Chain A
Amino acid sequence: MENFALKVENLVVALDDLTAVRGVSFTIRKGERWGLVGESGAGKSLTALAIMGLLQEGWKTSGAVWHDGINLLQASDKTLSSRRGRTMSMVFQDPTTALNPVAKVGKQITWILRHHMHVSKSEAYAQSLVLLNKMNLPRPESIMDSYPHQLSGGQRQRIMIAMALACYPELIIADEPTTALDVTVQKQVLRLLDAAVTERNCGLLLITHDLPVIAAMCENVAVMYGGRIVEAGAIAEVFTNPRHPYTRGLLASQPTLDNIDLDGGTRLPSIRGAVPPLYAMPEGCAFADRCDFATSKCKELPELDGHTHRVACWNPLTSSVKGA
């Protein structure tokens, strides 16, 4: 048995002649937690959907995604269905629309247990109650009997997480799991997710644009820009010594108490320019026209280079953020 939960090799996701994900590679070992960071439009969600095999009609993929002994990109819907929810699962962003409005919550959870684990109705019910308890949901019996519209956003998201964890998957992909929630609820939900993942030793791929969340939940991070991973490695390394100009810009633009001048003197640093639209993606490095260190070499596409701390850049930074 391999020792990884997920191995992505040169994943390309395209729609007709538009390539949204332009060659992404990374490996998540069992129990490892990776954050996937980037602005909207970088290709993060599409990567996740491609891994799960849930892209809509018309989207094509190439490359390989290894999980549970098979290449998911080459697998049939039937093969994928037996893995989805069991060995790999996903938590989506918007809890208001993610649950079936006409079915009771209990039925939606027990279905997963009965389908994958082949347990009896009563056994599934009992296990569901346990799951809901773990999610700190009070009165789980009443929740099992409710319809989604009778519950709050936070409750629904916790149910989604419970559903994702039910079968002890090797990998959980969480796509912006708390973005749509109230700020006060976000932290609770993240804590629960954290505890559950720790308890079950699942691999986690946490997708978000929120850097502090990644820092709190994960050990490793991959930074995406323009459909590619531009930097990847342990958070401790990457966040203190970013080597890609984009990563440095991203970190510098995070509002912290350090760079906020409460008298209104300084401005929050930002990266000049904007993300190029997909149909006008440049040939070489996508960040070149916004980069202060760009050279003529950047017209060629740089590959991810390095061992534990990898970066895709012709002119990677060497000094640490704090110094510069």
Chain B
Amino acid sequence: MSEVLNVAKVKAKRTRKKSRLPLIIGGTITGVMILIGIISVFWIPMDVNVSDPSIRMLPIGTAHHLFGTDYLGRDVSSMLMTGIRTSIIIGSCAAFLALFIGTILGMLAASISKLDEPIMRMADIFMAMPGIIFALVLASTIGAGYLTTIFALTSFFTPAFVRVTRASSMRVLSEDYISVARLYGRGRMFITFRHVLPNISSILIVQFTIYFAAGVLSEAGLSFLGVGINRPSVSLGMMLHEAVEQIGITDPLNVWPGLCIVILVIGLNLLGDGLRDHFDPRFSQRVR
């Protein structure tokens, strides 16, 4: 049916312009958020931990306090900016570390058959454990905080990367040019890095964005529960945690941190979808 594949490949080339929308929107949103995060390192309207009870609970639009203040008089907009930064850092670090470790393990599992079984069993076991539980256990022993959260999330995400990398690597390794490379006497390491890695890189990039988003959501959840980020660091989930504890669930103060999370995650997801469409040469899956 290669006639159809020919047509489909052309269709893919032609309609790429049409389906670029998720990529553009996602990229823009993510870019803006990252920008905010970077800016927050150098400048925020006000120190996030300075409490001034005299100006507590100001509504949005007040002079000097764009988003108002919280129950302790702290500036909300500053906290939002810092919170975004935290989410981005934790999400990206966890995803990146998981990517790094998972890719190595996955490629090892795919190329060395003796390691395949044990690595995959470990991955299965890790996947069977709910991530939150793992994080809670860590929090109870090491204590909550930046590092604990990143560590917990990394452990939680790595098995998924191992799975994906292993599956894609195996697919690449079954290609003919790999056999040719072996015939030429190329070593396994060489083949892995020179041939396998570039071919799976697009899948990995997409997975990275997905787990970046998952990391943001998970960190928010953990902080909300109180076992993630704590003062003096600021996180969006933590803001909601404080809001619920102190002022109850009725206050509009709850809206902003949640909204920031949603926007960031949507941006990342769209970016991931857009990248997947961009990289996918097999549009023919959809077309016959």
A16 touches B14 (CB 8 A): yes
Q: Which of B2, B10, B286 contacts A18 (CB 8 A)?
A: B10
How far apart sit A120 and B1, CA to CA, in the bound complex (Å)? Answer: 39
Interface of B is mostly: helix
Main secondary structure of the interface of A (DSSP, over half): loop
* Cβ proximity bits B2-38 to A, threshold 8 Å, 1 near / 0 not: 1110110011001100000000000000000000000
Is A260 engaged at the interface, CB distance under 8 Å to the other chain? no
B4 touches A45 (CB 8 A): yes
Contact with B along A129-146 (1 / 0, CB 8 A): 000000000000000000
In chain A, what residue has the closest Cβ to B287?
A: A56
Task: Say yes or no: is B114 at the interface (Cβ < 8 Å to chain A).
Answer: no
B6 in contact with A55 (CB, 8 Å):
no
Contact yes or no, A40 B3, CB < 8 A = yes
User: Contact between A20 and B288 (Cβ–Cβ < 8 Å)?
Assistant: no
Q: How many residues of A contact B (CB 8 A)?
A: 20
Closest chain-A Cβ to B240's Cβ sits at a distance in Å of 43
Does A41 interact with chain B (Cβ within 8 Å)? yes
Given A15-B287, A56-B287, A56-B288: A46 in contact with B4 (beta carbons within 8 A): yes
Q: How far is the CA of A58 from the CA of B15 in the complex (A)?
A: 12
A60 to B249, CA, bound (A): 55
Q: Are A278 and B287 in contact (CB under 8 A)?
A: no
**Distance of A125 Cα from B158 Cα, bound (Å):** 53
Give the distance in Å from the alpha carbon of A318 to the alpha carbon of B9 in the complex: 40
Question: Does A284 sit at the interface, judged by CB under 8 A?
Answer: no
Q: B3 contacts A43, CB within 8 Å?
A: yes
B4 touching A279, Cβ below 8 Å: no
A42 within 8 A of B: yes
Q: Does A277 contact B (CB under 8 A)?
A: yes
Contact of B288 among A16, A55, A278 (CB under 8 A): A55
A28 within 8 A of B: no
Q: Inside 8 A of B1's CB, which chain A residues have their CB?
A: 40, 45, 93
Q: Do A40 and B7 form a contact, CB below 8 Å, given A16-B14, A58-B287? A: no
> From residue A280, how far is it (CB to closest CB) to chain B in Å?
9
In whole angstroms, how far apart are the Cα atoms of A55 and B286 in the complex?
12
Contact with B along A60-79 (1 / 0, CB 8 A): 00000000000000000000
CB <8 Å contact, A40 and B10: no
Given contacts A18-B10, A277-B10, A278-B10, contact A46 B3 (CB under 8 A): yes
A97 nearest CB across to chain B (Å):
12
A residues near B10, Cβ cutoff 8 Å: 18, 277-279
CB contacts (< 8 Å) of B286 on chain A: these are 56
**How many whole Å from B287's CB to the nearest CB in chain A?**
6
Contacts of B15 in A (CB 8 A): 16
Contact check, A42 vs B3: say whether CB atoms are below 8 A apart.
yes
Give the docked Cα–Cα distance between A277 and B15 (Å).
Answer: 18
Q: How far is the CB of B258 from chain A (nearest CB, A)?
A: 38
Instruction: Write out the residue numbers on chain B whose beta carbons fall within 8 Å of the beta carbon of A277.
Output: 6, 10
Contact A20 B7 (CB under 8 A): yes
> What are 30 pairs between A and B in contact, CB < 8 Å?
A15-B7, A15-B287, A16-B11, A16-B14, A16-B15, A18-B11, A18-B14, A20-B3, A20-B7, A40-B2, A40-B3, A41-B2, A42-B3, A45-B1, A45-B3, A45-B4, A46-B4, A49-B288, A55-B288, A56-B286, A56-B287, A56-B288, A58-B287, A93-B1, A277-B6, A278-B3, A278-B6, A278-B7, A278-B10, A279-B10
Known interface pairs A43-B3, A56-B286; 13 further A-B residue pairs with C-beta atoms within 8 A, sorted by A's residue number:
A15-B7, A16-B11, A16-B15, A40-B1, A41-B2, A44-B3, A45-B4, A46-B3, A46-B4, A49-B288, A56-B288, A58-B287, A278-B10
B interface residue numbers (CB < 8 A to A):
1-4, 6-7, 10-11, 14-15, 286-288
Lowest 7 A-B CB distances belong to which pairs?
A: A41-B3, A56-B288, A279-B10, A40-B2, A278-B7, A20-B7, A18-B7
